[in-house]
Amino acid sequence: MAITLNVNGQTRTVDVEPDTPLLWVLRDTLGLTGTKFGCGIAACGACTVHVDGRAVRTCTVPVSAVEGMAVTTIEGLAADGRLHAVQQAWVDHQVPQCGYCQSGMIMAVSALLAQRPDPSDAHIDAAVTNICRCGTFVRVRRAIHAAARGDAFTGGGAAADGESVASRGAVVDDAGANRDAGTDRNPVANGRAGANGRAGTNGRAGTNGRAGTNGRAGTNGRAGTNGRAVTNGRVVATGGDATGRDAGTNRYTVADGGAAAAGGKTEARHG
């Protein structure tokens, strides 16, 4: 049966059974795979799109029920080459982890903000009941309020309210408190706060944003192999590798002008 739909501003005619769930028409017939299958019973929200501006879970809605209505999927949310405010807030606040549920989450949130531009937490709880199995709900709420305030940023400058974004070279929630761009702490290179998300000595990053081997600092701010410290100003060799490399350099630290051997190479340096 031929059914005519308006999807992302375009008229599309599909030849499907009228009781086919809209989700499968979008994904399998029209190739719009941003809308995800999650549960099949309209419980998780991964399949959410807009139908005439309302958030609708498509896995249980027959395609015939939306004929003649305006359907917007995640692919059609951005306009004129610019992300929707909610999409930008999601990027700025690093909301997704695996990302599978996030297209549906974004569609639910954008529908909420279109109807209620400044929602309270109670409004969010009532309207956005999507399930995120990665548990990103704290960041979701933070991003919703940021989008509502209109302070989603697109690069440059300092982050607000103790938050930061990957494009600004800082990490949210992983680097410890007050390690955001624009604060008195040093932002970490490449957006990493040491190995395994740990900060270096005195909040400073070592080479490539890492604070010593395995994120542990050695004696006097120098990191040894596997976090072992320098002994009496001399480096300690383990498995042929010299320890006690200065953070941010490729040289070995040696006492009294001695030489450190590493992998058959000898390099002498005073101090």
What confidence score (pLDDT) does residue 237 get? 42
**Domains plus CATH for the chain?**
2-76 (3.10.20.30), 85-149 (1.10.150.120)
What confidence score (pLDDT) does residue 189 get? 35
What confidence score (pLDDT) does residue 130 get? 98
d(CA 238, CA 103): 49
Q: What is the DSSP letter of 213?
A: G
201: left (phi over 0), alpha (psi -120 to 50) or beta: beta
| Ordered DSSP codes for 171-205 | -SSSS-TT-STTSSSPPPGGG--SGGG---GGG--
d(CA 204, CA 159): 19
What confidence score (pLDDT) does residue 240 get? 39
- Contacts within 8 Å (CB) and 24+ apart, 174-181: 175/199, 176/203, 178/203, 179/203
Q: Which residues of the chain have pLDDT under 50?
A: 153-271
d(CA 92, CA 96): 11
Distances (CA, A) of 101 to 46, 98, 258: 5, 8, 58
- Please tell me whether the overall predicted TM-score, pTM, comes out greater than 0.75 for this model: no
| SS3 letters across 20-77 | CEHHHHHHHHCCCCCCCCCCCCCCCCCCEEEECCEEEEHHHCEHHHHCCCEEECHHHC
d(CA 247, CA 186): 15
Structure tokens at 112: 């909420």
Angle between helices 102-115 and 137-149 (to 10 degrees): 40
How far is C-alpha 248 from the geometric centre of its chain's CA atoms? 27
What confidence score (pLDDT) does residue 122 get? 97
- 3-class DSSP state for residue 139? helix
Please report where in the chains the tokens 């490729």 appear, as a residue.
Answer: 250
